[in-house]
Structure 1
């Protein structure tokens, strides 16, 4: 009964107009008064922030804060994919014939997640990470590879919560919520950076919509409240680090695994001779 009531409440509260109201308040000058309480409640490491707490004019400005130079060093090996965000790994693994398996007990298809994009077949046997950003985390999203933009797609949708309750008890949150997807080509393949909106997220924004090329770790986008990034790698081009697993926290710039150049044999579908 309690779970049914929570699902009903989540359905009712996961409306874009509620997110818009929250967004308007977080952009208002009135919201600056709750910044100290917000920072204390979520144990935000203020020594990392680019500015002093009193310099932020709105809650949104504080939430989307930049960090001081050097706070997130970028791993030096160029064939490594780095984490694009500070986050908790909530799921990871190989993509099984276009299906992401067992994300909080649910399966997701690449077709639904990528809105049936013409790029989706490139990821059918790739690798995925689901990276959850809590309100405590630094909320800017950086590029996991050096490369050029192939395409960007904004998919309208719901704003269900992406916390443990939402991901476990709401159906297909990652493919029903609003998403901003960036497809990036790099020297050893392609990646898709899927930025998933969530409850109280009024928008997901690019830092520079005109940008078409990035170095690893460049500023790509930001959430205006906590959310999730789903990171996909092209079929058989990537090997994750063995010490990574669901429940492990990572910082932006830390390595997630190594790319390798696909051979002709490895790009064939299973069973094809």
Structure 2
């Protein structure tokens, strides 16, 4: 299939009503018969799941499953910034004059990603991580640090795929898709957790009751089907790990860097 035609088909399938239909099926009792096949197809480590496969009432309930206690270790250092998710690192680096450079060959502005928020000036020279969750991954989202939620924003948008095709062949998917942004104030600054919707994602939801004060590794939200997190840190507040690179996998709770004043 030629690339322009594939792009056009992706544009047509990125309408929210497609995701709503997919979500309706995934939440139905009928979908539960697909759980074993889904788990096998994506080689999901079902031994980590909180419940047995037959206890999940729908595919969506299985997809948004919690894990057994102790399945993930949250870095214990009080100044750690940890990964909020299990994911593949698809991009990371220093934000340069408000630009995230060369995310799968494309540049993104913080202004566009954060929908013109008045908070963008705090991130113009910060650090960013783009973390992709495949269908195989655990899809609950946790806090990357201790802190207080100071603002949240829902940004309506499309639901383009956020896999390799979407990020390389479609135009600036991360800032055109639906997003849910959580701003967290910590001891030396602020971090932003940008949850990006994707093709066949019916919603991005906060856990209930919605927290206001967070501990590092505390459950914050979840995706219904695969997607991406963009994690931003305020200018001069992060010393990132030097041994993590694009293409590496991280697990929720794994240290990404140290929160400290950096010149």
CA contact (8 A) 2:159 2:177 kept: yes
The change in CA–CA distance for 1:209 and 1:151 in structure 2 (over 3 A counts) is farther
What is the count of residue pairs matched by the alignment?
263
Q: Distance in 1 between matches of 2:90 and 2:18?
A: 26
Shift of 1:209: 5.7
Aligned to 1:96: 96
Report what 1:158 is aligned to: 158
- Aligned match of 2:225: 225
**Offset, 1:259:** 1.1
1:178 aligns to 2:178 (yes or no): yes
**Large movers: runs of 4+ above 4 Å:** none
1:183 counterpart SS class? strand
* 1:168 alignment counterpart: 168
Q: Is the 8 A contact 2:65 2:138 kept in 1?
A: yes
Does 2:149 correspond to 1:149?
yes
Residue by residue over 1:140-190, the C-alpha shift from the partner in whole angstroms, topping out at 9 and shown as x without a partner, is 000000000110000000000000000000001000000000000001210
* TM-score between both structures, scaled by the size of structure 2: 0.99
Structure 1: stretches of 5+ with no match in the other structure: 267-273
Task: Give the match's secondary structure for 2:75.
Answer: coil
Tell me the TM-score normalised to structure 1 length. 0.95
Partner deviation per Cα, 1:118-144 (whole Å, 9 max, x = no partner): 111100000000000000000000000
CA distance in 2, matches of 1:61, 1:87: 20
Is contact 2:210-2:220 (8 Å) kept?
no
Alpha carbons of structure 1 residues 151 and 209: separation in structure 2 relative to 1, 3 Å: farther
CA distance in 1, matches of 2:210, 2:109: 30
CA distance in 2, matches of 1:215, 1:80: 12
- Paired residue for 1:129? 129
Partner secondary structure for residue 66 of structure 2? coil
Matched, 1:234 2:234: yes
Shift in Å, 1:211: 1.6
Within 2, Cα distance between the matches of 1:99 and 1:232? 12
Aligned-residue offset at 1:3: 1.0
Task: Note the C-alpha offset of 1:261.
Answer: 2.7
- Aligned CA-pair RMSD: 0.9
2:17 aligned residue: 17
Alpha-carbon distance in 1 for matches of 2:111, 2:215: 28
Q: Cα offset for 1:236?
A: 1.0
Query: Which SS does the other structure have where 1:199 is aligned?
Result: coil
Query: Which secondary structure does the structure 2 equivalent of 1:245 belong to?
Result: coil
Q: CA deviation at 1:5?
A: 1.3
The answer to whether structure 1 residue 189 and structure 2 residue 189 are counterparts is yes
Matched, 1:105 2:105: yes
> How do 1:53-72 and structure 2 match up within 5 A?
53-72=53-72
The 2-side partners of 1:16 and 1:237 are apart by: 37
